[in-house]
Structure 1
Amino acid sequence: MKIDYLQKIKSARVYDVASKTPLDLLPNLSRRIHNQVLLKREDMQPVFSFKLRGAYNKMAQLSAEALSRGVITASAGNHAQGVALAAKNAGCRAVIVMPVTTPDIKVDAVRHRGAEVVLAGESYTDSYNHAMKLMEEQQLTFVHPFDDPDVIAGQGTVAMEILQDNPGPIEAIFCPVGGGGLIAGVAAYIKAVRPEIKVIGVEVNDANAMTVSLQQGARVTLDQVGLFADGKAVKLVGEETFRLCQQYVDEMILVDNDAICAAIKDVFEDTRAILEPTGALSLAGLKAYAQQHNLQGKTLIAVASGANMSFDRLRFVAERAEIGEKREAVLAVTIPETPGSFKKFCRLIGHRNITEFNYRYADATAAHIYVGIAIQDPSESGKLVTRLQEHGLPALDLSENEVAKLHLRHLVGGHAPQAKHEQVYRFEFPEKPGALMNFLDNMRHDWNISLFHYRNHGADFGRVLVGMQVPPGEEQEFTDFLQNLGYPYWDESNNPAYKLFLG
C-alpha cells in the first residue's frame, strides 16, 4: 500500500510534547565559509533531541490495548527519552534496551522519566535484537526508533518547520543519518513540496551503513561501527527508510570525528550551545560539502539533532577541534642538542601560536620535538615543514597521523640519565604572543633545556613544565633568573612523580 507521507507529516501529532524549534543563523561560520548557514535547533526540544517527534507520533497512534501491554524499544539514547516521555504521558509501562556504551547522561535521563532501562550489546543492532526477545517474552508493543511510517512522519515535521521559517531559496538541507528515520521524513516532505532543494545525508566514515547500502542498491549490514557519534552507531538501516532514501535523497557525504569536533566548536562559538557528536554531524557534512563544491552565497541548512553530550567527552572534543578545523599543524621536528637550538626553532615559527610542545632530552646529538602550531590555512603545514628543513631542521607533518594525535603526544618523555644537574620547574606563562621568547631571551644561552612540555588549555595562562641543566656554582644566577622572569614558578625537582618517570 502506497503511503502518503506528505499527508502523514502534516497530520502528525507531535506538538502535544514537542516544541517548534528555531532556525538560527550561524553568523561567524557563515562569514567564514561565504554561505548563509542556518541551524535547525532540535537540541532545544524537551528531551534535547528531535527523536521526541517520531516517538510520540507513533505512541499517539497506538490502541488502548497496545498501550496497556506496555511498550519496548531499542535506542542509543535520544529515541529512548522520547518513548519514555510519551509513555509517562500515556500512563503506560516503557522498557528501553540501550547499548552498554550509551553515555550515562542518556541512561540517567531515561530512568528519570520513569522507564525501565536494560543495557545490552555494544551497538544499536545488538540492543535491537535483545529488545525483540523481550518483546516476545513479555508481549510488549515495539516502538521502532526509525523504521516505522508513523515515526518517519513525526521526524518529517522538522522539514515542515524549516520551510515555514525559510520560504526563500535553499540550496540544501543536511541531515545526520543512523537508521534513516530523520532523513527519510525530511526528504519525503521536501521532495513533495520543494523538489529543487537538495537533501543530503551525513554519516561518520566508520558508521556508514546508509552510504554503503545506497551504493550497492540493497541494505548492507556492517560488521562493526564507530561509537563516537553513538546516536548514529547503526549497523543496518531500516527497510522503509532505505526505500525512501533511494527515492528522495540526493547525496550522502562522510566525515570523520575531527570534523565533528570542529562543528561542535562552530556551534558553540555562534550559539554558546554544546551539541553531542551526532547533533553536530550534519553541520560537519555541510562544511565539507560547501568546500568540495566551492559553494558561495548559498543558503545551507543543517539539522542539529541533539545535545545529550557527556561532560567527560568535552576534553576529547576540545583536543581534536583545532585539528578538525585544520587550524593546528602537528609536527615532529629534529633540532641539534646544543644551546640555542630551541630559540632558533621558535624564531623560525615566527608569530604563530604554539599550541603544544613536548620534548625530552635523549642524547647529546639531536632532540626530537613534538609540536602543535596554530595555522589559518591547511596549506601552512607544508610551508612550515619546508621552512624548517631549509634551515637545517628536519620536520615531519603529523597532522593526519592518528597514533601521533591520540597517543604519542602523551608519551613523549622518559628517563634521561645523561641530563646531568637537571632542575625541573613548573611555570605559568601568560597566554600571549612573546611569552615563550621572553623566557628564552632571559635565560643564559649555555643552560641546556632538557625537558619542555606545554599545552594550550584555553586559560589566560599556560601551564609549562621545564627541565634545565644548570651547572654547579651557577645556582644563584639561576635563582636570579627565576625571580626576574616575572612568571609564577614552582620547584618540582624533588617531586616523586618526576623522579619515578622522568628523572
Structure 2
Amino acid sequence: MNLDYLQRILTSRVYDVARETPLQAAPQLSARLGNEVLLKREDLQPIFSFKLRGAYNRMAHMTAEERGRAVITASAGNHAQGVAYAGQRLGLRTVIVMPATTPEIKVSACRARGAEVVLHGDSYSDAEAHAYWLQAENGMTFVHPYDDPLVIAGQGTIGLEISQQIRAARYKVYVPIGGGGLIAGIAVFLKSISPQVEIIGVEPDDSDAMFQSLAAGERVTLPQVGIFVDGVAVRRVGAHTFGLAQRYVDRIVRVTTDEVCAAIKDVFDDTRAVQEPAGALALAGLKRDVEERGLSGETLVALTCGANMNFSRLKHVAERAEIGERREALLAVTIPEQPGSFKRFCRVVGGRSISEFNYRYAPRAEAHIFVGVQLDRADQRATLLDELAAAGYDAIDLTNDELSVVHLRHMVGGRAPEAVDERLYSFEFPERPGALLQFLESIDESWNISLFHYRNHGSAHGRVLAGIQVPEAALPRFRESLDRLGYRHADESENPAYKVFLT
C-alpha cells in the first residue's frame, strides 16, 4: 500500500498552485524547551492553509466526465477554500456545504473565489450529511476533505518537503488530526523513507476521534465534539486515514483549549504570525509531549497549518493563553473583613504581580476574594499556596476550574439569599446570529431564572451560566426539560467556587 501512496505523492499536481513552505526555526521556544523547534509554515499557502494541496490534487486528476459535473464538498472551512481555489483555477463550478458555526472569514473567502456556499448544521458531520444528500439529488462530484487517496497524497507532499529541508537524521514530527488526511499523507511518506522518524498526532481533548479509534482498534464515532478548534472538529475519522494511522503513527497527544491558546501566542512570539486554533494544535502537542516525556536536545517539527481565524476570537485566545501556559494562578482566598486586610495579603504575595482582584464588601467577619497572580513558572503556584497557608489564609486553587475561568471571575460578590431552591447550570450552544434569543425562548417558563451570565467570546460556541429556582419535587420534570432542550449542559450546583461567591 505504501508504494501506491509514494507514487501518488511523487506525481502529485499540488505545485500547480501550492508553494513549498519554509521549515522555520522558533528560537525563543527552542531556548525555553531545551530542544530545536522547527515550524513547517503551511499557513503561508495562498489560502493560508495546507488544504489547498489535497483539494487541488484530487480535482486536477478528475476525469472528463467528472469535470462535466459540479464539484461539491463539506468542510469546516479550510478544505472548502482549497476546493473553491482549485475550482476557480480549473474552471469548475463548486458548491461548499459548511457548518453554520464556521468563522465568517472562511465563508467569505470561499464566496470570493466564486463558490456557492450552503450553511447547514452545527458540525462537520451535519454539513457532510447534507452535502451527500445534495450530491445524490443533483449528480455532483464529491471531493472528500480527508478520506480520499489523492487528497491524502496531496497532503503527503508536506512530508516530502520536510525530508528535503531538515538536516537532522532523527527527528519527531507533530501533526494535527481532524479526519486524518494530513497525518496519513505525511506519515506514509516519511515512515517509508526514514522509519526512525517519529510521527506524533495531536488532537483536542474534546475532539479525539483518532485517539479513541486507535485505542479501540476500530473507527469510533464520537457522540459530540468540541468546536473551539473548529478545523479538526470531526466525529469520525476516515477509513483510509485510520488504516494508515494504525500502521505509521507512533503516538497521539491530546491537549486542552488553554494549551492551544498558549501555543497561538508562542507562534506569534517567534514569527509574528497569528494561527487559527487548528494551526497551533501541533505545537501545543509538542509542548505537552516535551513535558510528559522529558525530551531534551532533540529536533522537533510542528506544523503551523492554518491562519484563518476571525479577529474577534483573539480576545478569547488572549484571555486563556496565560492559563494555558500556566503563568497565572487564580485563587479564592478568605481574608478578614477589616481595613488593611488586602494590604497584608499583598505582602504575603510578595513581589509577584497581581493580575486580577475581585471583591465586594459584605457585613460579616470574613471576605472572599477572587485573585489572579502572575507566575514566572508553573511550579510557583504550589509555592504560593504553601506561603498563603503558612500565613493563615484559606485559599482554593481555581486555576483549572473552567466555571471560574469563564464565568465566576466576572460575577464575584453577587449573593441572593432570597433565591431559594436555586440550581446552577452551565450551557453550551452553537454561536450564530439569534442563538442567545433562541436559547432563552427554549427555556421552560415554569421555573424562575435567578442568575444569568453570558459572554460572547467570538468563538464557535456560546456559553451561558444560569441559576434556576426549582423545588425539589419538580426536579425530575426539570431534568426532562433540559434533555428536550438539546444543548450540552452540566449541573454546577456543587461547584466550590459557586458556593464561596454566589450562595
Q: TM-score interval w.r.t. the shorter chain?
A: 0.7 to 0.9
Paired residue for 1:394? 394
Summarize the alignment of residues 376-415 of structure 1 with structure 2, pairs less than 5 Å apart: 376-414=376-414
- Is 1:26 aligned to residue 26 of structure 2? yes
Is the CA contact (8 Å cut-off) linking 1:210 and 1:242 kept in structure 2? yes
Deviations 1:72-108 (A, max 9, x none): 0000000000000000111111000001111111111
2:262 alignment partner in structure 1: 262
Residues 38-59 of structure 1, C-alpha deviations (whole Å, 9 max, x = no match): 0000011100000000000000
Is the Cα contact below 8 Å between 2:258 and 2:324 reproduced in 1? yes
Q: Deviations over 1:443-462 (max 9, x none)?
A: xxxxxxxxxxxxxxxxxxxx
Gaps in structure 2 of 5+ consecutive residues: 417-503
Give me the whole-angstrom Cα distance separating, in 1, the residues matched to 2:168 and 2:300: 12
* Partners of 2:186 and 2:293 in 1: CA distance: 23
Give the counterpart letter for 1:346 in structure 2: C
Aligned to 2:286: 286
Structure 2: which amino acid aligns with 1:257?
Answer: T
Match of 2:8, SS state, is helix
Write out the 4+ residue segments of structure 1 that deviate beyond 6 Å after TM superposition: none
> 2 CA distance for matches of 1:31 and 1:167?
19
Q: Equivalents in 1 of 2:80, 2:399: separation in Å?
A: 38
Is residue 7 from structure 1 mapped to residue 2 from structure 2 by the alignment? Answer: no
Offset, 1:393: 1.7
SS of 1:373's equivalent? strand
- 2:242 paired residue number: 242
- Does 2:77 match 1:77? yes
- CA deviations over 1:223-270 (Å, ceiling 9, x no partner): 000000001000010000000000100011100100000000000111
Q: Distance in 2 between matches of 1:190 and 1:3?
A: 12
State the alpha-carbon separation in 2 of the partners of residues 377 and 8 from structure 1: 47
Residue 354 of structure 2 contacts residue 373 of structure 2 at CA under 8 Å; is this kept in 1? yes
How far apart are the structure 2 equivalents of 1:36 and 1:169?
Answer: 13
8 Å contact 2:210–2:237 — kept in the other structure?
yes
| Contact 2:2–2:192, Cα closer than 8 Å, also in 1 | no
Who is 2:297 aligned against?
A: 297
- Is the aligned partner of 1:172 residue 2:178? no
Aligned residue runs from structure 1 range 42-441, under 5 A: 42-414=42-414
Matched to 1:319, the amino acid is E
Kept after mapping to 1: 8 A contact 2:33/2:296: yes
Aligned-partner Cα distance in 2 for 1:106–1:30: 32
Per-residue deviation, 1:415: 8.3
The whole-number CA distance in structure 1 between the counterparts of 2:173 and 2:197 is 7
Aligned to 1:470: none
Task: Give identity over the alignment, percent.
Answer: 58
Note the alpha carbon deviations across 1:288-317, whole angstroms, 9 max, x for none: 111111111100000111000111111111
**Matched position secondary structure for 2:253:** strand
Work out the CA distance in 2 between the residues paired with 1:303 and 1:380: 31
Per-residue displacement from partner, 1:97-122 (whole Å, max 9, x unpaired)?
A: 00111111111111111100011111
Pair 289,334 (structure 1): closer, same or farther in 2 beyond 3 Å: same
Q: How many residues end up aligned between the 2 structures? A: 416
- Give 1:83's aligned amino acid: V
Query: In the alignment, is the contact (CA less than 8 A) between 1:169 and 1:299 conserved in 2?
Result: no
Counterpart of 1:95 in 2: which secondary structure? strand
Corresponding position of 2:427: none
Task: Kindly provide the amino acid, as one letter, of the partner of residue 312 in structure 1.
Answer: S
CA-atom RMSD in angstroms? 1.2
* CA shift for structure 1 position 414: 4.0
Instruction: Quote the offset at 1:348 in angstroms.
Output: 0.9
Which amino acid in 2 is paired with 1:336?
P
Distance across 2 between alignment mates of 1:400 and 1:34: 26
Q: Per-residue deviation at 1:35?
A: 0.2
Q: Does the CA contact (< 8 Å) of 1:170 and 1:300 recur in 2?
A: no
**TM-score using structure 2 length:** 0.81
When Rg is computed on C-alpha atoms for both structures, the one with the higher figure is: 1
CA distance in 1, matches of 2:245, 2:195: 14
Deviation of 1:3 after TM superposition, in Å, equals 5.8
How far did 1:167 drift?
3.5
Q: Aligned equivalents of 1:103 and 1:229: distance in 2?
A: 11
Deviation of the 1:64 alpha carbon:
2.3
